[in-house]
Structure 1
Amino acid sequence: MNEESQKRYYTLLEQLLENINRPKDVDFDTINDILVELFKVLRVSKAIAEFYPSQDHEKASKGQIFVCFESTGSNKVAFTKRIVTKAMTVIRCTVYMLEDEEPFDDEELKKVEIVCNVMLNFIAYDGLQGIVEDLTFYDEDGYRNVRAFMRFLYELKLKTNIGNYSAIHFNLKHFTLVNQEIGRSAGDMAMRNYYELIERIIGSEGIVCRLGGDNFVAIVNNERLSDIISIIEGAPVEYDCNDSARIMVSATAGVYRIPEDHTSEDSRDILDKAVVASQAAKKGDKENVVYYDDNMILEKEKTMRIQQMFPEALANKEYQVYYQPKIDIGTGIIIGAEALCRWIRDDEVISPADFIPILEQSSDICKLDFYMLDCVCKDIRRWLDEKRDVVRVSVNFSRKHMMDVDFLEHIIRVIDDNNVPHKFIELELTETTTDVEFRDLKRIVSGLQKAGIYTSVDDFGMGYSSLNLIKEINWNVLKVDKSFLPVDEDDDKSTRSIMFKYVVAMAKELGLETLAEGVETKNQIEVLKNNNCNLAQGYYFDKPLPKNDFEDRLDQHKYEM
């Protein structure tokens, strides 16, 4: 290398180092131009830098490849360097020279290595910055995460009027069923395409992120809010790119219109309010999209209060069993009862609608269910000891118990500890939708029946797996939800009358005891008789009764029909 080339090399190297050491103002085009000139001075005909997040990525050739210089002609490898960093990332630099060039001498080789080292260090730093970005702001499936949401919201507050935006928290509806129907990989593709559809409509002025599973959150310019709501309410998305197969995906959502005078420094406050509205949408049975209002915070505070009060209330036995009789409408005889929970605090009866859904949000409901079972068993044992005519009592159990692998043993232990014959206990289990719960439900129902404990499926017809539920599981009792029971205005041709007729006929054909819930009028009794549904429960006979009142009914034994 002559003296002029030496000078040129050191000048360019100094410029390269100066530009690379500007972390806040790195000009990649300038750096590349300097590298090109350096490689020309060093007789390099081609230079390639590679970055791989791991050695596995390197083996699979999945990384970033940067060709910083390439001249025309046939090339041969002149020098290569590979480094595995402490973070286990892999960086590699390969330089080439033309086939007819003389090999590098020792001095040239050192200079080539110096340039490669500088380039590798820069690429390693830049690549690691990208990895840190991915790990911090993206989840394992490549969706932006809640940190990305918070960063976007912070930056948005700095540069614009946040009152022009809304936060949306949305949860995909019945996505477990979607995965069961089309398979998990196809379900993943459907979710991704739905996400990208929303992302395209939101554009660069907003953001959509995944909180986990099928839960998402977005910030949307209000000009595009109605378009996003339309997608949330339902949109067809592809799940198989080979044959363009599509499925309809929809969600429940909570929307928080950020006020122009929003002053909270905590960005999480915006997310929390969208989540509160989303929870209201998920609990409701009419509106898929709910807009936040301040009353929802009061509801949230009420929820927290009830959850905090629960341990003390349980210890103080404030939860009491009320019994609603089940009647054979042919004879008027009480053939059973359903145990229902009432919370009595400071002489006030609190409706289950005010606390059961709240306890359902945690494992508290499981503690309450077993408390109720224990109380029922104690009552039955006492009735037996008092020589009363004892009837079978059904106790409701939440499907949250499906997560307990020893659920069956726990139930039997409570019954046996109270020395109650198994035939006097019936477990009412609500419908279930997920594959894991369904499999566990089948195992539990089978185990209960082997132990001589009756089982009933509650609210039949209200879920999404009704027919499969009775096809796959041998229940003892089917309780037909009151929404299927014809009202006095219905004639024989009404939808309700027809559906009730065939649900009862199907249950009878399958050998199930069939009980109609919510019976309130004499006409409904006649409908039951005409359809051979002999068992009923409802206000026509009695509302849920305190224990002493129910014991009086037991002693009377029957109702006048």
Structure 2
Amino acid sequence: MIFDYKAYSRLLNEFIIEGEKIEQYRDPAFNKILEPICKFLRISRISSAVFDSTCDSAIIKSAPHIYYDDGNADSTRVLKFTENNVRACKANYSFMQSKSGQDWSEEEVQQIEAFEKLIYTFCDRSYASTIAKDLSMFDNDLMIYPLTFFLATVKNLIRQGRIGEFGGVYFNIKHFSSINDRFGRDCATNIMKLFIHGIQEKILYEECICRVGGDNFVVLFKKDNLNIIKNYLSGMPITFNDGETVTVTTTAGYYMIPEATESATDVMDRISTAYQLAKSVYKRPFLFYDDEIMQHQTHVKEIEMMFPSAIENEEFKVFYQPKTQLNNYQLAGAEALCRWFRNGKVISPGEFIPVLEGSKAICTLDFYMLDHVCRDIRRWLDEGREAVKVSVNLSRLHLGDEDLLESILRIIDKYKVPHHFIEIELTETTTDVDYKELKKIVYGLREQDISTSVDDFGVGYSSLNLIREMPWNVLKIDKSFLPTQEEEDNDPSKVKMLRHIITMSQDLGLECIVEGVETAEQVKLLKDCKCYLAQGFYFDRPLPVKEFEQKLESAAG
């Protein structure tokens, strides 16, 4: 399950705003403002009891109090915290999970720990005059502020009319999971700590760095200090373990905050939006929130609004790009690709796919495509055509869906399509995936005689563990690994890399296909490398159904 930090920060800011209006934590209104965050963090019950901390025995100084209870709490699934205050009292807080549902994730536990500090702030009014001070409880691992402090600091600067002096940045440490795998958790945490402490040495009075969760952080900085922060986040060698060095880089979203800003949530929205676009759309190491992004956001909203009716009206059409067997140039299969036709115009996949991935609507589109592919295959079989195996893309955002395998099988079996005609092409599997969930679905599909392939191997930070530890059927090599004639002449290392990947995949028992083949020279190179399966414009562009059916007839005849 992916933790939605953007939505959580908005709820947290609303809680802070409404909490300041409440004078007494026993006020029923306090329970009401707790409810949205409790539902988001899957908290079923919050309670506390106050004791005299000067005595060895537990002397209760006030009756136990229940802040929130939805009636479904499980007393065996509980997080407990203890707070000491200046009045020689000790407060024990209990957060219980519901009787149903998965255990809290690590991200949820981190946010519950920070949320407990915030509740304690409101409950102990001796600290209420300086809420920001109570929000500044250090992160246990890194000894830095949590997100709540960032929001409170921004809010305070807005009150003072000084927010226009500052900028904000949301950043993520790239490939930190790989650092974790390579060096171990303790060492990786130390590397993160050294990197973050390096930023702390750069920031000035009134600036701050705060942890959002995991390997995500935010920084509030003076605008004059922008270049120093930006240069540091672009990449920094970190030395650890008596001289060993690793370069830590980030993906970052910046926002130069205008004086007219009215809420901390607006700042958080803009820096997190810039970060998401830098990572997923523009593929850049950093991006500033500006007019271009505002236009992009307008475009995103338009796509999101059009999508439900487009699905209902079947505006998305399946195009089939043939796969070719190089030893005889026969049709060997196809990949199903999506094209959107609306009001007589074609909307490019580059315009709508990233948007749908951002809202998880991509999962709906994936199942729509699988359904239409199965419908076509069933029709071909009923008409006596020679059908071929078709690969259908599935986004990594499906991972974590406990019913994913059943949903795939339900669609395929609805049309009584033999399983060997379907190949599931899992996209974006080289970054930020839960390997346990990925392994589960790959094994499950294999047991059902459904082929699986790794899409775009070689893009980004591909892990060899990805193909070593899972029973894939097909390795799809990205076109970036396929050299042009000029590169083949001037960069022999690229040819060697391609040759080694093909040999390695075949030694592991994987079928190997290269996409993006455009020239006869590239075909010859693949044959020389003993790779005999390819797709690309040299053979065929993606074809509408009728044209692909003609291809099927030609192949059969």
Given the two structures, how large is their TM-score scaled by the length of structure 1?
A: 0.73
Whole-Å separation in 2 of the counterparts to 1:171 and 1:466: 19
- Contact (CA 8 Å) 1:432, 1:463: kept in 2 or not? no
1:82 positional shift: 7.9
Q: How does 1:524-543 map to 2 (within 5 A)?
A: 524-543=522-541
Q: Deviations over 1:151-188 (max 9, x none)?
A: 32344356575444322221222222233333334444
Matched to 1:170, the amino acid is F
Letter in 1 for 2:365: L
Alignment of 1:271-286 (within 5 A): 271-283=268-280
Question: Is 1:500 the equivalent of 2:501?
Answer: no
Give yes or no for the alignment of 1:228 onto 2:229: yes
The CA RMSD measured in Å over matched residues stands at: 3.3
What is the CA–CA distance in structure 1 between the aligned matches of 2:154 and 2:393, rounded to whole Å?
Answer: 44
- 1:8-407 maps to which residues of 2 (within 5 A)? 84=61, 89=84, 91-92=87-88, 129=128, 136=135, 138=137, 141=140, 143-157=144-158, 162-237=163-238, 247-259=246-258, 262-283=259-280, 287-407=284-404
Q: Residue 397 and residue 161 in structure 1: after superposition, are their counterparts in 2 closer, same or farther (change >3 A)?
A: same
Letter in 2 for 1:473: M
Distance 2:384 2:52 in 1: 75
Match of 1:517 among 515, 518, 521: 515
Distance 1:413 1:284, change over 3 A: closer
CA distance in 2, matches of 1:223, 1:133: 24
Encode CA deviations 1:406-451: one digit per residue, 9 max, x unaligned: 2222211211111001111111113535797212222222221221
Contact 1:325/1:542, CA 8 A, preserved across alignment: yes
The amino acid that maps onto 2:517 is V
Q: Which stretch shows the higher mean deviation, 127-136 or 243-252?
A: 127-136
CA distance in 2, matches of 1:234, 1:172: 10
Runs of 4+ residues over 6 Å off in structure 1 = 53-59, 80-83, 124-127
Retained in 1: the 8 A contact 2:171–2:275?
yes
Letter in 2 for 1:387: G
- The residue that corresponds to 1:552 in the other structure is 550
Amino acid at match of 1:497: V
Query: Are the structure 2 counterparts of residues 247 and 54 from structure 1 closer, same or farther at C-alpha, using a change threshold of 3 Å?
Result: farther
Shift of residue 211 of structure 1?
A: 2.8
Q: Distance in 1 between matches of 2:410 and 2:138?
A: 43
Following superposition, the deviation at residue 494 of structure 1 comes to 2.0
SS at match of 1:466: coil
Classify 1:388/1:131 alpha carbon distance in 2 versus 1 (closer, same or farther; 3 Å): same
| DSSP 3-state at the match of 2:444 | helix
Sort the Cα spacing of 1:81 and 1:205 in 2 relative to 1 into closer, same or farther, 3 A. Answer: same
Distance in 2 (CA, whole Å) between partners of 1:222 and 1:351 is 38
- Taking the aligned partners of 1:316 and 1:58, their CA distance within structure 2 comes to 70
SS in 1 for 2:531: coil
Instruction: Tell me what 2:3 maps to.
Output: none
Match status 1:420 vs 2:417: yes
Amino acid at match of 1:291: F
Q: Runs of 5+ in structure 1 lacking a partner?
A: 1-52, 62-79, 94-123
Q: 1:558 to 1:255 in 2, by over 3 A?
A: farther
**Residue 263 of structure 1 aligns to a residue in which SS?**
coil
1-structure distance, mates of 2:223, 2:130: 33
Q: Deviations over 1:258-281 (max 9, x none)?
A: 35xx32333433333333322222
Distance 2:422 2:270 in 1: 43
- Distance in 1 between the 2:59 and 2:410 partners? 65
User: Which residue type is aligned with residue 505 of structure 2?
Assistant: A
Residues 385 and 273 of structure 1, relative CA distance in 2, 3 Å threshold: same
Is the alpha carbon distance of 1:195 and 1:130 closer, same or farther for their aligned partners in structure 2, counting shifts above 3 Å? Answer: farther
Cα 1:189–1:131 shift into 2, 3 Å = farther
User: Residues of 1 paired with 2:410 and 2:149: CA distance?
Assistant: 49
Confirm or deny: 8 A CA contact 2:132 2:152 kept in the other structure.
no
Code of the aligned partner of 1:304 = K
Residue in 2 aligned with 1:476?
473
Of all paired residues, the percent bearing the same amino acid is 43
Give, in angstroms, the shift of residue 463 of structure 1.
4.2
Letter aligned with residue 498 of structure 1: K
Q: Which has the larger radius of gyration?
A: 1
In 1, are the aligned partners of 2:281 and 2:354 still within 8 Å (CA)? no
CA contact (8 A) 1:461 1:481 kept: yes
Contact 1:333–1:557 (Cα < 8 Å) also in 2: yes
Aligned-partner Cα distance in 2 for 1:435–1:272: 22
- Structure 2: stretches of 5+ with no match in the other structure: 1-48, 66-82, 90-122
The whole-number CA distance in structure 2 between the counterparts of 1:477 and 1:82 is: 66
Contact 1:81/1:92, CA 8 A, preserved across alignment: no
The code of the aligned residue for 2:400 comes to: M
Contact kept, 8 Å, 1:323 with 1:544, in 2: the verdict is yes
Distance 1:89 1:305, change over 3 A: same
CA 1:527/1:311 → structure 2, altered by over 3 Å: closer, same or farther? Answer: same
Which amino acid counterpart does residue 521 of structure 1 have in structure 2?
T
> Deviation of residue 244 (structure 1)?
7.8
Residues 526-535 or 438-447, more deviating: 438-447
Instruction: Report how far residue 139 of structure 1 moved.
Output: 7.4
- Cα distance 1:264–1:466, how it changes in 2: closer, same or farther (>3 A)? closer
Name the SS for the 1:473 alignment partner. Answer: coil
